[in-house]
């Protein structure tokens, strides 16, 4: 090996030593617990054999040592000094120790399968994160294997290659031809040797690494012995790097190995950063630390042998921690001995000085060659095992199907060949110094992901996360993540940013392309943990009107006819709770199982299909009324409970299937909802078919005429108001299509889409108040709809009913000021309704004249009371607390015509005032009849009744 090797070549040889061999498939446990991940079974002829020492300690030691002990110790001490050099190792090992704790925790939390780091991350964080990190880990191992092969070739050529410069006379041992193609041939031969070992299997690899481990340990022993045995001597320094301009400074040609001297130690204590003699670049703490840190990683080599270990949960923590402690001690001892025995100039100007001061010079060359070829094999076998694990998990479909093939002994030989082919392609690039940094960054990103996985499991507080290794906390995980992130950007901020962006791109691709896994998603556990915590903090006693928002329970009988209403209510929720409720009639005591469990998939598929943010709550009850009561009582949790009930209107409109097109497959000609065929249908096709009939016994979005009558329907409304829930009745939403209404050219200009609001109780013509609780609730909901992005171009029209005999300016100005105070933009339109009101008062005067003729001495109040008592049952049904005055059908028809006459152009949605149901249940049918006449042919209409204040003018 030549005396002059570029600094980046040192990175090349040692920076990717993080390559860790992954293992063959794990054998299946004797028994599997329900819900536990099923390990991939290995063939019977290949049981797990590797112990702690052979399976964990040796691979980790070789990965962490690599060539740093032979080529970088002098570089670190010579540039940074002993104090800063030891500080660098303390910081570096602190960072990797945090990750080691996370690895130990995850590895002792359950059965590990083949895949090492990829398996840990994917099973903890889910397929998206695990797959993206796995791909990066795979490419990092491929490039790392090529880097080590090329580094070994350069080392061989530096020692035994014929110099390309014809002016230089070769030595006796420089006999190998040099050049690009010769170097490629040598690299191919070395890679072929690694391929043969990896094709035989992991156990041959373990034996080969053991031999290499003995060689490296022997070299280390001889290096330590040399410090005591070799006498002080003068060492000839290699030729320094010469810039192209020929202006390089004059460097010394010799330096001293002094042996152990206090004077030498004192001269090496403090930092002395100079230019790197191999590259001509000025060194600093950051650059030296980045170079040194590359040689301290490789901590996951043992954990990646999980598939071949006798007891991974036992071996990984003990073996990894042992290797980390051992390497840390060796590094610090070498730093101390080098600082005590070598001149500063020797350390700064000759990075391979250990060969010159060794009792047998070839031992350092042998150590470099052995550790490098070991790292190359480690990367190759690691890449193949990652590829095999990715193929077994089917994250990329048929692209990696061939990589699943294994030999009879369980060795994934196809994955080995594919990895070898990619490494061979990388070898054609020749010099890969620029890739060394990004490969290291890839490994650091994997280590950060392991820390993140452990942190997520710890924060999720899942009962099944109980690792036997307990020497970690969430603090250590965060420190590990921060440390890896800092090192990534310290090494190369551009490569670090690019690698993170590449990982996120892979994450998105896997998220959208890969099938749903059965590994579990840590995100769900974290969300559950946080939601529970914040729900406990959400105190209903601290509710304030300023922060009120609608929390809606929409009762849906059949989603096929309710698509339009479901999408509109989704716009009305204003980031509040939105629950789709459904009542199925039945008695659980007479059924073999809960019939609702099989329906949740269909309802969740509906939520996904409509792209709405809603929960689903189903209940089983003996009547629809009782079912709605159940849902109003139990829906939600803590401070998130429905405060508004939405029902479809009870009318004679035949429902229309808007969920699935009428041109269905031929399977619908049979009974697709029979038990034998139901599970074969897509979830959206499993909802019961609509039952329309000529007598109007199917009641829109909510009612079903065979199970719900008018009396029970109004009772549901009354129950909700008793429970202090706001009530919304939705009519004519069968044909409602928000996309069509709000699509161009409808919204090319503001004002082409209208939302009409009638904030007055039209069943009380004698009361024209626009500021009661219910009216303000109408305004609030209309304003919320107008705040939604899709509805912002719609114009609110507020209709003010006035009589000609009264001044219009007063009420209009008052209403305008109210809108201004409430920050609501709306067009106020006055509507004369004298003729409509006259119909009501004519009826009133007729009733009063009849009473006067019978009892002329009655006062007005007594006359009113007598009128109520003497009405026929049909007329009496018009009298209830919210409608003390009686209205006729003629009046309601006239009001309906009045509303229709103002609809030019027709609005997208109307908001009308919903009066309370009568106190006497005998009047429910007439109440419903009045609502029907009032809203006849009005198009999409919401009848709204608010029971609580929801709007304020206060800041």
pLDDT of residue 556: 92
Asked if residues 140 and 439 have their Cβ atoms less than 8 Å apart, the reply is yes
Burial class from Cβ neighbours inside 10 Å (0-12, 13-18, 19+) for residue 172 reads exposed
Better-scored residue on pLDDT, 3 or 462 = 462
pLDDT grade, residue 869 (50/70/90)? Answer: very low
Is the pLDDT assigned to residue 679 strictly greater than 50? Answer: no
pLDDT of residue 663: 34
What percent of the chain is modeled with pLDDT above 70?
76
The pLDDT tens digits of the residues spanning 328-344 come to 999 999 999 999 999 98
The pLDDT tens digits of the residues spanning 757-781 come to 988 888 877 665 667 888 888 888 9
pLDDT grade, residue 953 (50/70/90)? Answer: low
Q: What is the mean pLDDT of residues 908-937?
A: 91
The 3-state DSSP class for residue 642 equals coil
Is the pLDDT assigned to residue 925 strictly greater than 50? Answer: yes
Better-scored residue on pLDDT, 165 or 352 = 352
Better-scored residue on pLDDT, 852 or 825 = 825
pLDDT of residue 375: 80
Better-scored residue on pLDDT, 890 or 579 = 579
Is the pLDDT assigned to residue 103 strictly greater than 80? Answer: yes
pLDDT of residue 943: 94
pLDDT grade, residue 517 (50/70/90)? Answer: low
pLDDT of residue 621: 92
Asked if residues 517 and 123 have their Cβ atoms less than 8 Å apart, the reply is no
Q: What is the mean pLDDT of residues 181-209?
A: 84
For the ranges 122-126, 574-578, 840-844, 868-872, the one whose mean pLDDT is highest: 574-578
Stretch among 661-665, 863-867, 941-945 having the lowest mean pLDDT: 661-665
Is the pLDDT assigned to residue 724 strictly greater than 60? Answer: yes
Asked if residues 725 and 914 have their Cβ atoms less than 8 Å apart, the reply is no
pLDDT of residue 308: 66
Q: Which CATH superfamily is domain 737-848+884-954 in?
A: HUPs (3.40.50.620)
pLDDT of residue 530: 79
Is the pLDDT assigned to residue 671 strictly greater than 50? Answer: no
In sequence order, the 6+-apart residues with CB closer than 8 A to the CB of 263 are: none
pLDDT of residue 543: 77
What percent of the chain is modeled with pLDDT above 90?
16
pLDDT grade, residue 362 (50/70/90)? Answer: confident
pLDDT of residue 242: 57
Is the pLDDT assigned to residue 694 strictly greater than 50? Answer: no
Q: What is the mean pLDDT of residues 679-700?
A: 54
Domain borders along the chain are 52-164+173-239+252-513, 544-658+704-727, 737-848+884-954
- On whether the 52-164+173-239+252-513 domain is CATH 3.30.200.20, my answer is no
Q: What is the mean pLDDT of residues 175-201?
A: 85
Asked if residues 803 and 797 have their Cβ atoms less than 8 Å apart, the reply is no
The 3-state DSSP class for residue 664 equals coil
pLDDT of residue 616: 93
* SS3 track for 279-328: CCCECCHHHHHHHHHHCCCCCCCCHHHHHHECCHHHHHHHHHHHHHHHHH
Sheet with 615-621, side-by-side order of all strands: 615-621, 578-585, 552-555, 644-648, 726-731, 941-945, 909-913, 754-758, 795-802, 827-832
The 3-state DSSP class for residue 866 equals helix
Asked if residues 819 and 798 have their Cβ atoms less than 8 Å apart, the reply is yes
pLDDT grade, residue 942 (50/70/90)? Answer: very high
Is the pLDDT assigned to residue 2 strictly greater than 60? Answer: no
The pLDDT tens digits of the residues spanning 475-488 come to 999 999 998 898 88
Q: What is the mean pLDDT of residues 1-30?
A: 37
Is the pLDDT assigned to residue 412 strictly greater than 70? Answer: yes
pLDDT grade, residue 681 (50/70/90)? Answer: low
Stretch among 62-71, 298-307, 321-330, 848-857 having the lowest mean pLDDT: 848-857
Is the pLDDT assigned to residue 359 strictly greater than 60? Answer: yes
- φ/ψ of residue 608, rounded to 5: -70, -40
Is the pLDDT assigned to residue 807 strictly greater than 60? Answer: no
Average pLDDT score over the chain: 77
The pLDDT tens digits of the residues spanning 249-303 come to 666 778 888 888 899 899 899 988 888 776 677 888 888 887 787 667 778 777 7
- φ/ψ of residue 771, rounded to 5: -125, 20
Q: What is the mean pLDDT of residues 630-648?
A: 89
Is the pLDDT assigned to residue 197 strictly greater than 90? Answer: no
pLDDT of residue 149: 85
- On whether the 544-658+704-727 domain is CATH 3.30.470.10, my answer is no
pLDDT of residue 21: 39
Domain pair 52-164+173-239+252-513 / 544-658+704-727, same fold: no
Q: What is the mean pLDDT of residues 119-123?
A: 76
């Amino acid at each position: 090996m030549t005396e002059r090797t570029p600094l980046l070549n040192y990175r090349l040889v040692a920076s990717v030593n993080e390559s860790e061999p992954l293992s063959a498939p794990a054998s299946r446990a004797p028994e599997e617990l329900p819900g536990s991940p099923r390990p991939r079974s290995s063939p019977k002829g290949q049981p797990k054999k590797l112990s702690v020492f052979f399976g964990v300690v040796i691979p980790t030691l070789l990965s962490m040592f690599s060539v740093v002990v032979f080529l970088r110790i002098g570089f670190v001490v010579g540039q940074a000094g002993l104090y800063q050099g030891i500080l660098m190792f303390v910081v570096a090992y602190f960072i990797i120790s945090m990750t080691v704790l996370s690895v130990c925790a995850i590895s002792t939390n359950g059965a590990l399968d083949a895949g090492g780091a990829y398996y840990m991350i994917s099973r903890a964080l889910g397929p998206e994160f695990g797959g993206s990190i796995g791909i990066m880990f795979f490419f990092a191992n491929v490039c790392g294997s090529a880097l080590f092969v090329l580094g070994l070739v350069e080392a061989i050529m530096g020692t035994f290659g014929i110099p390309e410069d014809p002016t230089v006379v070769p030595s006796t041992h420089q006999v190998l031809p040099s050049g690009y193609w010769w170097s490629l041939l040598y690299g191919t031969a070395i890679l072929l040797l690694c391929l043969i070992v990896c094709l035989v299997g992991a156990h041959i690899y373990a034996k080969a690494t053991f031999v290499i481990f003995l060689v490296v340990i022997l070299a280390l022993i001889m290096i330590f012995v040399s410090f005591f045995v070799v006498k002080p001597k003068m060492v000839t320094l290699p030729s320094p790097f010469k810039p192209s301009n020929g202006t390089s400074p004059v460097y010394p040609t010799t330096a001293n190995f002094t042996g152990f001297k206090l004077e030498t130690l004192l001269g090496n204590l403090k930092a002395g950063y100079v230019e790197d003699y191999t590259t001509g670049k000025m060194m600093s703490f950051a650059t030296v630390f980045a170079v040194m840190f590359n040689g301290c990683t490789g901590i996951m080599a043992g954990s990646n042998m999980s598939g071949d270990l006798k007891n991974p949960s036992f071996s990984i923590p003990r073996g990894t921690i042992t290797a980390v402690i051992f390497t840390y001690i060796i590094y610090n001892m070498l730093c101390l001995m080098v600082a005590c025995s070598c001149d500063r100039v020797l350390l700064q100007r000759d990075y391979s000085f250990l060969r010159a001061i060794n009792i047998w010079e070839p031992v350092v060359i042998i150590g470099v060659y052995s550790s490098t070829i070991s790292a190359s094999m480690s990367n190759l076998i690691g890449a193949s095992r990652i590829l095999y694990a990715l193929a077994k998990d089917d994250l990329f479909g048929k692209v990696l199907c061939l990589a699943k093939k294994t030999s009879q002994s369980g060795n994934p030989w196809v994955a080995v060949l594919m990895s070898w082919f990619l490494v061979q392609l990388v070898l054609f690039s020749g010099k890969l110094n620029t890739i060394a940094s990004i490969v290291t960054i890839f490994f650091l990103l994997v280590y950060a992901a392991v820390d993140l996985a452990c942190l997520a499991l710890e924060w999720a507080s899942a009962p099944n996360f109980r690792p036997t290794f307990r020497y970690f906390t969430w603090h250590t995980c965060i420190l590990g993540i921060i440390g890896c992130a800092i090192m990534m950007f310290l090494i190369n901020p551009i490569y670090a940013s690019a690698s993170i962006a590449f990982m996120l791109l892979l994450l998105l691709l896997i998220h959208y392309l890969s099938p749903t896994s059965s590994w579990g998603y840590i995100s769900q556990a974290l969300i559950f943990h946080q939601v529970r915590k914040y729900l406990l903090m959400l105190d209903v006693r601290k509710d304030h009107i300023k922060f009120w928002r609608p929390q809606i329970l929409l009762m849906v009988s059949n989603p096929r006819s309710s698509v339009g209403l479901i999408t509109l209510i989704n716009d009305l929720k204003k980031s509040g709770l939105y629950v789709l409720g459904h009542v199925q009639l039945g008695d659980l005591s007479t059924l073999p199982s809960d019939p609702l469990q099989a329906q949740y998939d269909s309802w969740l598929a509906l939520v996904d299909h409509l792209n709405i943010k809603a929960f689903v709550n189903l209940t089983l009850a003996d009547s629809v009324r009782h079912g709605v009561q159940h849902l109003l009582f139990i829906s939600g949790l803590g401070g998130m409970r429905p405060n508004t009930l939405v029902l479809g209107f009870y009318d004679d409109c035949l429902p229309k299937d808007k969920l699935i097109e009428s041109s269905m497959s031929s399977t619908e000609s049979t009974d697709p909802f029979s038990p034998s065929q139901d599970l074969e249908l897509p979830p959206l096709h499993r909802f019961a078919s609509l039952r329309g009939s000529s007598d109007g016994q199917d009641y829109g979005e909510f009612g079903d005429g065979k199970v719900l009558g008018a009396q029970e329907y109004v009772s549901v409304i009354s129950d909700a108001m008793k429970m202090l829930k706001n009530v919304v009745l939705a009519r004519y939403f069968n044909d409602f299509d928000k996309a069509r209404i709000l699509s161009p050219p409808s919204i090319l200009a503001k004002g082409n889409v209208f939302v009409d609001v009638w904030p007055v109780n039209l069943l009380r013509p004698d009361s024209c108040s626009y500021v009661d609780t219910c009216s303000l609730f109408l305004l609030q909901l209309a304003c919320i709809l107008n705040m939604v992005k899709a509805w912002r171009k719609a114009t609110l029209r507020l209709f003010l009913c006035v009589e000609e005999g009264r001044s219009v300016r007063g009420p209009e100005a008052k209403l305008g000021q109210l809108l201004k105070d409430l920050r609501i933009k709306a067009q106020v339109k006055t509507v004369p309704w004298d003729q409509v009101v006259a119909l009501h008062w004519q009826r009133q005067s007729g009733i009063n004249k009849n009473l006067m003729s019978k009892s002329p001495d009655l006062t007005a109040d007594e006359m009113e009371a007598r009128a109520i008592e003497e009405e026929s049952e049909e007329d009496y049904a018009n009298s209830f607390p919210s409608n003390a005055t009686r209205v006729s059908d003629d009046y309601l028809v006239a009001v309906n015509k009045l509303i229709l006459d103002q609809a030019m152009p027709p609005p997208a949605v109307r908001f009308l005032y919903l009066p309370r149901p009568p106190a006497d249940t005998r009047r429910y049918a007439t109440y419903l009849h009045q609502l029907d006449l009032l809203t006849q042919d009005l198009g999409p209409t919401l009848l709204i009744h608010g029971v609580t204040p929801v709007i304020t003018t206060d800041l």
